[in-house]
Chains A and B, each alone.
Chain A
Amino acid sequence: MSGADLLALLPLILISISPVAVMLAIAFFRGRGLAAALALLGLFISFVSLPFAASYAPRSVTPLLVIDNYALFYMGLVFAATFAVALLSDGYLRMLRVRSEEFYVLLLLAAAGSAVLVASAHFASFFLGLETLSVSLYALLSYPVTREKAIEAGVKYLVLAAISSAFLLFGMALVYALSGTMEFSGIAAWAAAGIKYSNPVFLGALALIAVGFGFKLAVAPFHMWTPDVYEGAPAPVSAFVATVSKGAVFALFLRYFARVDIHTMGSLALALTVISIASMFAGNLLALLQNNVKRILAYSSIAHLGYLIVAFLASGALRVTAVSFYLVAYFITMLGAFGVVTVLSGPDGDAEDIEGYRGLAARRPVIAGVFSLMLFSLAGIPLTAGFVGKFYIIAAGAGSALWLLISILVINSAIGIYYYVRVIITMYSPAPVEAEEAALPPKSTEPAGPAAPEQAASAAGAIIPIGGGLVLAVLAIGLIWLGVYPSPLLSLIRKTIQSLM
């Protein structure tokens, strides 16, 4: 390993040192502030080191890792998103009054796992990255141990992630048995040269791997865990699961298939088509019936992964651009949406009941405005990043003549509007005191106890934590910027995907 190799690995090294540093620091000086500051610093330094690493890219560092612009781009996304989650968590954990130092260790570990994932070129590094991510998540999901729902979420995720890892491992083992290599490039060369995609064992292996991926990405029919986990987990962790953990897996998925025309593998393309359609319908239709904002966002994320697979099934350079842009837009939007839930949450529970949002626009207009923006972005309305993202997906689909898929996408967009807009209009409806509940026995305007966590929150923490506010402001600005002037990001993406094509 040469010096250049080490320099190329700099971001990975830094993000791996960070959790160790935080752990050591809090062993001597326990303190919430110190841990948070160190974590933020670690993420920041890792992010800043990306351009240095870029000057040594593209480069294969050992057979395990490949550092190219694509990997660095997604590492940047992972670091930035984790930074946002860490900032959001600060106020949240303070409000929960739990010991929060270890939270940052776990968060940094998860980020490190994701970064390894997007740079992996080998089954071993892929699996290591994935497990580092998953194991950290088990603990993160149930971090507020006094909450039953959080424990439930953690256990549910643990069981399902373990099973899906087993599927993945079995699939990898079969591929290794057939091809004799665990490097992605070797496998691709082997598959293209020899047995093709008609060998039943290889197809079985692909199916097992697809099941594993399906669980991680929470696409239908492997999506059952998503709403429960998102609902039970602390809101910032839900944001992390929805964005970083899914995005990193999808980025890897895309890297492997970027050079392959997926339609040459008949059965895989068919399976992905079915998964995509099922995810879109399952996500959107089930979200219609929800009254819990976190569950709505969970189902929405299922549908959005379905949209992403539509772009993934397209061909040409447009598909990689579409997926990358959509992922960025999706990261910003989901972080923003869960960020709003985070800053509204009180010590008794997260702000998840849709009724708690009634009249929010009158009480806290800025937060309501930011949340509306995020929801409009999820619905794909102009002026937001989601619009350009959806446009790109439909463009990628139309360019490859996937008319069936994009027709279904269009129908689903229309279905989706219903539940996004339902949340928005609830925020802009008059507060319950004057409306339907006027008939109920008069209650004091002060929070009515634990039954109304949102109201409690608005009284207790009417001032938004400064970190959370900052994150939301930056995300909202980024959202509009990408929606109105996406050119800079598009040219950046264009540069990053050159090494793939």
Chain B
Amino acid sequence: MELLWLIIAPFAGGVIAWLIDRIDGGDRRGLPARWVSLLALVFDLALLAAIWAGRHAGTGVGKYGAWFLQLKAGWIPEIGASFHLAMDGLSFLLVFLTVFLGIVSVAVSWNEIKDRVGFFHFNLLWCLAGVIGVFLALDLFLFYFFWEMMLVPMYFLIAVWGHERRRYAAMKFFIFTQLGGLVMLMAILGLYFIHGAQTGVYTFDYFSLIGTRMSAAAAFWLMLGFFTAFAVKLPAVPVHSWLPDAHTEAPTAGSVILAGLLLKTGAYGLLRFLVPLFPAASASFAPVAMAIGVAGILYGAILAFGQTDLKKLIADTSISHMGFILIGVFAWNSLALQGVVMQIICHAISTGMLFILAGALQERIHTRDMGLMGRLWEKVPVMGGVGMVFALASLGLPGLGNFVAEFLILLGAFKANPAMSVLAALGLIVSTVYALRMMQHVFHGEERRGWSLPDLSAREKGVAAAMIILIVWLGLFPQPVIDAASPALQGLEAIAGSQVKIISVAGLGRMTAPPAQASFYRTASGPLKSGALKGDKNERR
């Protein structure tokens, strides 16, 4: 039930915030709506704390992984869809991130949003609820339901409260993601019917669908369907063009949620669904996907370097950082996966904070054009200092979380595909260039306009302090996060590994448990039988 409450709280909070604002008439700058939203999210936070304290990993949800909790209820039995939520370490971290950034978003919109405050918070909370649902759903129909559901509120956030070209950007975002989602729906249904035709059981349940036997061609096309949706959300390079527009035009809270959470649903989908459902197909697709990732890293960095719009620049760096996630996922070994989780969290925090700073600047000087800024450090030293910390985080300075993440990913990827890893490492160099250029143009250099602006307010300082503490903590002592995620990641590896083995040892008549640490590339593409059998000595279950 806790899992259901996690989703219901923001849903209900959103509705109450909207209603209360209407009744209130909005004459007190929407304070009740803001407090209700905050309350709903704090409730979620408390719930998460309770779940974490009371967890005992390894409850019997499915075969693999370390699940804390699950909730399974009938929903639409006619099509075999159930209301199946479950939480493991990975989901926990991501839901925690969602709630945390949700609170941050409410805080940063405190002064920025003055128009239709209730409706704003309704959309904000419904978007968060959709994201939480995505991170918890273990039924593909339910997953798709939440996946689509978070789009509409986000659309409204951009289209109603965004900047100059908001309607264009919002529409582009909506159409891109909707198209990606529908392609995924086709793939989900393809999987559903293949599984149903084989077993006679038509179900969308994740654990049932894992290990569905299908021809290599079918697996490849279905995998590509899922990949399309996740690549659009991530975004990967050929389908990234919605992102700079959407991030730039969105209000600050929208940018934070987009960069911090919506992009991460793509990464989560790759981890939770794409590889475990189609391990062999994704193994054969890995070189292409990693190449796309490298292209994203370099292309995003080049875009960022040439950018004069501050928010667009930060958006372009997101493309670059998300390339690392693609590489890490498709390297698919423990190191790389741990790196991916770290990257998800650190990028959400660092980029989120950079967007908050850009939003704060825009609120004060009403422009995002870096050509009009310069030498702002003298006027807003605190903002400059915070900006410096997160610019350094973005370029991967050791001691801050992003370094750990990207280092782990590169390390893992080197084992899987050295060439790609070397190319991806170039990203660290170019990121230095764009991050320092950004600092130079905004906070240093010559003064181009005589701006006079106030520094960060106490509320903004509080947000910044929380973010800095987190990013430094993640940089110096990432072990708790890795420990939390590891059992879940090992479960995912085991799912993927076991299937590759089922395929390769088909005919041996015995299902062997997968190795915990072995890269599944060896088992997939090496000399099949011997590779598979060698893995046995490392059994875990």
Instruction: List residues of A whose CB falls within 8 A of some B CB.
Output: 321, 365, 376, 381-383, 387, 391, 394-395, 398-399, 403, 406-407, 410-411, 413-414, 417-418, 421-422, 425, 428-429, 485-487, 490-491, 494
Contact = CB atoms under 8 A, between A and B. Distances in A.
B151 A365 contact: no
Interface of B: 22, 75-79, 141, 145-146, 148-149, 151-152, 155-156, 159-160, 167, 170-171, 174-175, 178-179, 182-183, 185-186, 189-190, 192-193
A406 B189 CA distance: 11
B193 A398 contact: yes
B76 A383 contact: no
Contact of B185 (A391, A411, A418, A494): A391
A421 B170 CA distance: 10
A366 to B, nearest CB: 10
Given A381-B148, A381-B152, A428 B186 contact: no
Contacts, number: 77
B43 to A, nearest CB: 22
A237 B135 CA distance: 46
B190 A413 contact: no
Contacts of A398: 186, 189-190, 192-193
A486 B186 CA distance: 20
B178 A414 contact: yes
B152 to A, nearest CB: 6
A417 B192 CA distance: 26
Given A381-B151, A421-B171, A428-B159, A411 B179 contact: yes
B240 to A, nearest CB: 17
B186 A394 contact: yes
Contact of A414 (B22, B78, B156, B175): B175
A403 B183 CA distance: 11
Given A413-B178, A414-B179, A417-B174, A382 B149 contact: yes
24 contacts: A365-B22, A382-B148, A382-B149, A383-B149, A387-B145, A391-B141, A394-B185, A394-B189, A398-B192, A398-B193, A410-B183, A414-B175, A417-B175, A417-B178, A418-B171, A421-B155, A422-B171, A425-B160, A425-B170, A428-B159, A428-B160, A429-B160, A487-B75, A487-B78
Nearest to A487: B76
A376 B148 CA distance: 12
A373 to B, nearest CB: 11
Contacts of B145: 382, 387
Nearest to A428: B160
B175 A418 contact: yes
B22 A486 contact: no
Given A428-B156, A487-B77, A387 B148 contact: yes
A391 B160 CA distance: 29
A403 to B, nearest CB: 8
Most chain B CB within 10 A, of A382, A413, A486, A490, is at A382
A425 B178 contact: no
B159 A425 contact: yes
A440 B77 CA distance: 58
A327 B385 CA distance: 60
A386 to B, nearest CB: 11
A394 B79 CA distance: 13
A391 B144 CA distance: 10
| A-B pairs, 6 with minimum CB distance | A398-B189, A410-B182, A490-B78, A414-B179, A382-B149, A382-B148
A491 B149 contact: no
Given A398-B189, A418-B171, A376 B152 contact: yes
A463 B171 CA distance: 33
B132 to A, nearest CB: 15
Residue of A321, A425, A486 contacting most chain B CB atoms (<10 Å): A425
Nearest to B193: A399
A422 B167 CA distance: 9
Contacts of B179: 410-411, 413-414
Given A398-B193, A490-B78, A407 B186 contact: yes
Given A421-B155, A428-B156, A406 B78 contact: no
B403 to A, nearest CB: 39
Contact of A395 (B146, B174, B189): B189
B152 A395 contact: no
Given A395-B192, A428-B159, 15 more contacts: A376-B152, A387-B148, A394-B182, A394-B185, A403-B186, A406-B186, A410-B186, A411-B179, A413-B179, A417-B178, A421-B155, A421-B171, A421-B174, A422-B171, A425-B160
B202 to A, nearest CB: 9
Contacts of B141: 391
Contacts of A494: 78
A335 to B, nearest CB: 22
A480 B171 CA distance: 24
* Residue from A395, A403, A413, A422 whose CB has the most chain B CB atoms within 10 Å: A395
Nearest to B149: A382
A394 B159 CA distance: 29
Given A382-B148, A394-B189, A410-B182, A490 B175 contact: no
A428 B77 CA distance: 37
A347 B240 CA distance: 49
A106 to B, nearest CB: 38
Contacts of B175: 414, 417-418
A491 B74 CA distance: 14
A376 B153 CA distance: 12
A417 B176 CA distance: 11
Nearest to B150: A382
A500 B245 CA distance: 51
B462 to A, nearest CB: 32
Contacts of A387: 145, 148
Contacts of A486: 76, 78
A28 B171 CA distance: 57
Contacts of B151: 381
